[in-house]
Amino acid sequence: MSLLDLCLQGLAVFGFILFGVLWLMHFMSIIYVRLHLHRKRSEVKGQMAGVSLLKPLKGVDPNLISNLETFFTLDYPKYEVLLCVQDQDDPAVDVCKKLLGKYPNVDARLFIGGKKVGINPKINNLMPGYEGAKYGLVWICDSGIRVKPDSLTDMTNQMTEKVGLVHGLPYVADRQGFAATLEQVYFGTSHPRSYISANVTGIKCVTGMSCLMRKDVLDQAGGLVAFAQYIAEDYFMAKAIADRGWKFSMATQVAMQNSGSYSIGQFQSRMIRWTKLRINMLPGTVLEPVSECFLASLIIGWAAHYVFRWDMMVFFMCHCLAWFISDYIQLTGVQGGALCFSKLDFAVAWFIRESMAVQIFLSALWDPTISWRTGRYRLRCGGTAEEILDV
């Protein structure tokens, strides 16, 4: 047997293993979504833990005030809202002051100026609020997130004795326009498939959009200062908590992104930035493209042709169709109700998103620098970064 034959056989075996792994991920995520998300929770009995909500703010968009206001109307007996703005001249300051005046009975404070402790601008912005937090649980939640009155109750329900971190599955609110549909399709199909599968199998996969954490555990790891050297601070905070023996839990409500500023270009830039971070933190990310529909279908279709002599293109089309249908089933489960767009809109957005996947990955490999908030950074292996200063 020649070396070429051995390579072809190895590729065929890889194709069948890939088939099994990817469809296991499909089924795990679909079942988990149906069983866990959007479930009605009974009210917590007894004393509820106090929560310090940390809100990093930078600039305004059309939905900022309505998003922020949902945190002032939470149905929770003991929490504080700590609004953090880096720049005195930021228009977000006026939005915060307006809400502070509208809800004088809510325990809320505004921190302006931040504190420079590292290269991560989000951590720098949050430092004064973190240092002033008075409760044992801290909830770091991005400015574009919108919540329901019982969202905090849902998260604290998950914070059981052995749990150190509760996170929400990222999703996107119903909004107008094709860019909104594209985001909703991605966060309802490809992203939760990987995100849920990782967490179900014990891999700690967390995004920092909405995270409830034990403050004493963070303090044991050095506090927020310890994570200021990283751009992906959420990954390293989660790792520090896991390394100390604490478990993670996922809220039954999604982390609902509702930014008022969105476009296809912004979506693409964010996906490239996230991919760059994963490549520098996790070397296994180089295999990510084979987990996407079109490339995976080609590899699996070739393996089926090599072993069984099935028509490769017929298999490719059938496999893509099955993937498409399972993604639609998962999306409706994550949505928890009727979609705001048609099946045709879904088909177009799904096809475009899948077509963008390899291009996004290659773009991330091409340039190791990222732009985030007001800075540019050069990533290093292991997840650290250095700021690129203009001279």
Cβ neighbours for 374, distance < 8 A, ≥ 6 positions apart: 58, 121
Residue 22: Cβ within 10 Å count: 20
Q: Dihedral sign, CA of 130, 134, 138, 143?
A: negative
Give the phi and the psi of residue 374 in degrees, each rounded to 5. Answer: -105, 5
Which phi and psi (to 5°) does residue 83 adopt? Answer: -90, 125
Catalytic: which of 61, 107, 216, 234? Answer: 234
319: its two tokens: 């496999």
Tokens of 75: 């149905």
Structure token pair of residue 37: 């998300």
State how far the Cα of 100 lies from the Cα of 207, in Å rounded to an integer: 28
- Sequence-ordered list of residues with C-beta below 8 angstroms from that of 137, at least 6 positions apart, any chain: 49, 50, 51, 52, 156, 159, 212, 213, 214, 215
Q: Is 90 a catalytic residue?
A: no
Judge whether 197 and 28 are in contact, CB under 8 Å: yes
Residues constituting the chain = 391
Active site residues: 234
